[in-house]
Structure 1
Amino acid sequence: MAMLAAPSTKAADQRPPHILHIVADDLGWKDTGFNGCTDIKTPNLDSLAATGAKLTNFYVQPMCTPTRAALMTGRYPFRYGLQTAVIPSVSSYGLDTSERLLPECLKDVGYKTAIIGKWHLGHADKKFWPRQRGFDFQYGAMIGELDYFTHEEHGVTDWYRNNDVVKEEGYTTQLFGREAVKLIQQHNPTQPLYLYLAFNAPHTPYQAPKEYIDRYPNIADPTRRTYAAMVSCLDDEIGNVVRALEERGMRGNTFIVFHSDNGGTRNAMFAGVMADMSKIKIPCDNGQYRDGKGTLYEGGTRVCALANWPGHIQPGTRDGFIHAVDLFATFASLAHAPTDKCKPLDGQNVWTTLASGAASPRSEVVHNVEPFRGAVRQGDWKLVWRTLLPSSVELFNLAEDPSEKNNLATVQPEKVSQLQKRLEELAKESAKPLFLADQFKVVMKNMNGEPVLPTDEEFSSIEAP
């Protein structure tokens, strides 16, 4: 049996790797085998986790658009107004074009950059689209939710190849996988590749090919059965992509990162707009973690994740803090890509943590900062603060209480004060949420026919969606 080479801990010692960045959509923390799921089979992800690093403290934002913005900018989304909710299909705003994105940095040092899958960072104006933001190739959807077979949302096709609408038949997960395989087969292995493979599965609507649903006759609940089928299809396509890398001779120099964009959905309010979810049992399982998508609890922000790079990442579990914003700095370091043209990054280079389990340079995770709520973790302590009346403060010691059952705010007033002070500092650096401004504008237009942006005083009174 061949010995595994000691993991390199210095980016300067490595030739720039290919980077395969895989993002699932609304996947429950416990809905993969490597995190303990028993009724859904994910052999390909399990293999990557077993031969790589399983990340137990990997954090994202509580919803889709904010996480994807964090990945692309290396900066918390409260800094540019994308911290609240997702970009609705009827809205015209997008990720601030003054932000320099990851693919732009990687292109500067010779990478080919491609996005296959879901974008959801602005669709109403082409200036927000991937091809205009540093990606050489684009294939997939611009908005957040679509029918898996028709590729439509409310009758409008949302399926593009390099800025052009395309009409195709097929199940989205399989189409994304096939396109990724094709891209790899045609790629020159001597040029570094950054492939952002952003599946929309297993986001609502819950749809899957019959042959996948038939794999799970022992799951009684029909929605969980379909959800399981969606996750299995996702896993199969990831396996196909990894095999394509092997066949092309690229696997040995490919750094793979996989994670969900937020926790699994537990509340029908956050389950999408294409179907009435109030009368079904939502199928996602976040294990011991409280609540799910859309919330600041662990079930919404701590997600299943792994990293794998043969000979460079030592197999094992990584318990150090990693946030989605850290991937920008980490990828850029491995690629030898300068970030001096970027706005100040919130992300840190966590390569040594991923490679060998060294202590994470991150001691704080900012879960979010919004006018009506915020949450921050420092060490074992986490504060969740709702500022709208009636306000509430919750303090948890996650080392002792990972399920966030015991609110210690009344017995640890000094810790509460310390973390509230930190959130106040961050709030002063925050941009107004574009989602709330957009919704206020819609309301005002409906009232008197004229769109009116709120004053600071009016804005502070807007309630959360």
Structure 2
Amino acid sequence: MPYLKICRIVPALLIVLTISLLATQVHADKHTNVILIMTDDQGGWDYGFKGNKHLSTPNLDMMAANGARLSRFYVSPVCTPTRANLMTGRYNYRTRAIDTYIGRAMLEPTEVTIAEALAPAGYRTGIFGKWHLGDSYPLRPQDQGFQEVLVHRGGGIGQPSDPPEGAGKYTDPVLFHNGEKKQMQGYCTDIYFDHAMQFLEQNESQDKPTFMYIATNAPHGPFDDVPEDLRKKYQAMDLTDAYNFDLNPKRKNKKQFDKTSRVFSMIENIDQNIGKLFQHLKKIDALDNTLVLFLNDNGPNGPRYVGEHRGAKGSVNEGGIRSVLIAHWPAQLKAGTVNPTIAAHYDLFPTILAATGVEKPEGLKLDGVNVLPLLKNNADQWPERSLFLQWHRGDEPQPRTNAAVVTQDYKMTFSKPDEPGKLYHLQNDPAERQNLAGAKTTLASNLTEQYNSWFRDVSSTRPDNYAPPRIHIGNAKEETTVLTRQDWRYSGPKGKGWTSDARGQWLVTIEQTGPYDIKVLFGREQEQSTIEMTVQVGHDLFHAEVPAGKSEHVFQNVKLHAGEQTIDVKILEGKLERGPKMVYITQKSSAP
């Protein structure tokens, strides 16, 4: 080759190599985004790639094929416990969030959330959808590290914490944007994803790393407002075999098929939004440097396909506590990786810290472990571990009640405190039919003692470990505090606390002595006669007689005293005594 030609080629080659090296360095230095997506009441087998023959989830199937996943991933039997584990990396019994309503779905505000851990490292943090860990200060997501917040209140749209203007509406819902009530346009799931994508794009344009938590309230009920085109698609299908093998044939009826078609339509709508999200990541050149994690919060909300297992939401059988965990991160994870090692929701907090390179907050005790080595399939010396899961109704957890200890091969379940546990070999008996506790007494005894030690440990996290958090009133960060039946402490004659004649009390802390307005929303717009109403805040008692036809009453400029107080609102209609729908408390200026 002539010398002159070589001289021309070499500089050109050097330029190409330099540009390539610079591009590699820029990619290596680019920040890592994290998108955590969790659906509500979607079961662990409500996916095409999990063998569901009826449900269409092409985008989640593609995410699983192009990402890595853990095939034995566990969550709690119901949503608030799962959310507390997820947000803190700690067993929810350490966090005071132990149930889904009557004041037990509130996260202790001193707990450190994953958003609070990431924000000091420069991460822009956002939540879109369902929080379900407290609706009032200091329990809201914006009080717990989230900088951009678009959520509904309580456990779901259509529940008692919904604002009256938009109660039950999945289409055009009333949501709360950074604490302000806002009328939205569109279907709720679409709204969450659209706002999340805008948030991510804005941060990328400013070269700021993002942590986003997209928590859909779908496919949780109510089921009357679902994507109509998708509902018709599934309603036209034969869904006779869309359920677990042991479902009573009598339950396979038109009503059940209709509900399933509505659930499936909500899930496919989620899948469509997953597809839009990945297209958006490609568009803004953020696909390679973004870790997308996907899971469901508990088992299915009713009978559905759960593979070889049994159980649904609320149960500690496998069908009630298994989730998918898909991790998509092209820069770090090999496509198609599937690891069968057990892991759980509380592992995602330390995993996200490891992925982002953010240090664990000093002094924070985590129960979870970093599972990135499992997702990368390079954990040859992974230690044996036991997972602990429990949930039941009630004001405080009771030992050995709807609880499970899960190991790689075996599982011990407990139903009642005074009954021995049952032992199953999950590989040989996935449906948990054959109790081996009598045949393997040493193992059963060992797992029982492991559980007992765990329960003693989590129950002693604080001296008053299971006392519910208090709502704070009179703080500048929340001008008006809204008290709803979601967070009251049940005290009436009915069992659920959400019936029209239910009673309840709220545990609060009044931060400042001074004048307040107290507006009581009755919940019935057409009263037939004068009603008598009392509002008691600690030792202060306020009384009013309200004429028929009124739906609310305001006590203006009443003096409340600082300190821990109990608020009790009682409405008397003849012999009927009931609580209000909502109470709004606004601090007034004490200036003359």
**TM-score calculated relative to the size of structure 1:** 0.82
Equivalent runs, 1:33-432 vs 2, <5 Å = 33-83=48-98, 85-86=99-100, 88=101, 91=103, 94-123=106-135, 125-147=136-158, 151-153=166-168, 159-189=175-205, 190-206=207-223, 207-216=225-234, 217-219=236-238, 221-266=257-302, 282=303, 284-314=304-334, 315-341=336-362, 343-356=364-377, 358-359=379-380, 360-361=382-383, 363-368=385-390, 370-372=397-399, 373=401, 374-389=403-418, 391-431=419-459
Matched residues in 2 for 1:344 and 1:15: separation?
30
Matched residues in 2 for 1:330 and 1:352: separation?
9
AA partner of residue 42 (structure 1) = T
Matched residues in 2 for 1:186 and 1:147: separation?
32
AA partner of residue 412 (structure 1) = K
Checking the alignment, whether the CA contact within 8 Å between 1:100 and 1:342 is kept in structure 2 is no
Secondary structure in structure 2 of the residue aligned to 1:215: helix
Secondary structure in structure 1 of the residue aligned to 2:220: coil
Please report how far the alpha carbon of residue 388 of structure 1 lies from its aligned counterpart in structure 2 after TM superposition: 3.6
Checking the alignment, whether the CA contact within 8 Å between 2:76 and 2:298 is kept in structure 1 is yes
Checking the alignment, whether the CA contact within 8 Å between 2:97 and 2:104 is kept in structure 1 is no
Larger Rg: 2
Distance change in 2, residues 1:112/1:290 (3 Å): same
Checking the alignment, whether the CA contact within 8 Å between 2:293 and 2:326 is kept in structure 1 is yes
Please report how far the alpha carbon of residue 98 of structure 1 lies from its aligned counterpart in structure 2 after TM superposition: 1.2
Checking the alignment, whether the CA contact within 8 Å between 1:293 and 1:301 is kept in structure 2 is yes
Distance change in 2, residues 1:68/1:441 (3 Å): closer
Give a deviation string over 1:373-408, Cα, whole Å, max 9, x none.
13212331211123345x242111112112211111
AA partner of residue 121 (structure 1) = L
Please report how far the alpha carbon of residue 54 of structure 1 lies from its aligned counterpart in structure 2 after TM superposition: 2.9
Pairs aligned (count): 418
Amino-acid identity (%): 28
Matched residues in 2 for 1:393 and 1:294: separation?
18
Please report how far the alpha carbon of residue 146 of structure 1 lies from its aligned counterpart in structure 2 after TM superposition: 1.3
Please report how far the alpha carbon of residue 416 of structure 1 lies from its aligned counterpart in structure 2 after TM superposition: 1.4
Higher relative contact order (CA 8 A, sep 6+): 1
Checking the alignment, whether the CA contact within 8 Å between 1:16 and 1:336 is kept in structure 2 is no
Please report how far the alpha carbon of residue 357 of structure 1 lies from its aligned counterpart in structure 2 after TM superposition: 5.3
Checking the alignment, whether the CA contact within 8 Å between 2:75 and 2:298 is kept in structure 1 is yes
Matched residues in 1 for 2:195 and 2:364: separation?
33
Matched residues in 1 for 2:31 and 2:453: separation?
37
Matched residues in 1 for 2:83 and 2:425: separation?
28
Distance change in 2, residues 1:14/1:309 (3 Å): farther
AA partner of residue 141 (structure 1) = H
AA partner of residue 194 (structure 1) = F
Please report how far the alpha carbon of residue 183 of structure 1 lies from its aligned counterpart in structure 2 after TM superposition: 1.9
Please report how far the alpha carbon of residue 293 of structure 1 lies from its aligned counterpart in structure 2 after TM superposition: 1.1
Checking the alignment, whether the CA contact within 8 Å between 2:490 and 2:504 is kept in structure 1 is no
Matched residues in 1 for 2:275 and 2:504: separation?
52
Q: Which has the higher strand share?
A: 2
2:10 maps to none
Checking the alignment, whether the CA contact within 8 Å between 1:92 and 1:122 is kept in structure 2 is no
Distance change in 2, residues 1:114/1:418 (3 Å): same
Matched residues in 1 for 2:157 and 2:89: separation?
27
2:548 maps to none
Matched residues in 2 for 1:345 and 1:310: separation?
28
Checking the alignment, whether the CA contact within 8 Å between 1:26 and 1:260 is kept in structure 2 is yes
Please report how far the alpha carbon of residue 174 of structure 1 lies from its aligned counterpart in structure 2 after TM superposition: 1.4
Checking the alignment, whether the CA contact within 8 Å between 1:381 and 1:395 is kept in structure 2 is yes
Secondary structure in structure 2 of the residue aligned to 1:251: coil
Secondary structure in structure 2 of the residue aligned to 1:56: strand
Distance change in 2, residues 1:247/1:439 (3 Å): closer
Matched residues in 1 for 2:413 and 2:289: separation?
41
Distance change in 2, residues 1:382/1:181 (3 Å): same
Give a deviation string over 1:193-226, Cα, whole Å, max 9, x none.
1011111111111231212213332245222211
Structure 2: unaligned runs, 5 residues or longer: 1-27, 240-256, 392-396, 460-464, 471-485, 496-502, 508-592
Checking the alignment, whether the CA contact within 8 Å between 1:108 and 1:337 is kept in structure 2 is no
Please report how far the alpha carbon of residue 44 of structure 1 lies from its aligned counterpart in structure 2 after TM superposition: 0.5
Matched residues in 2 for 1:97 and 1:253: separation?
32
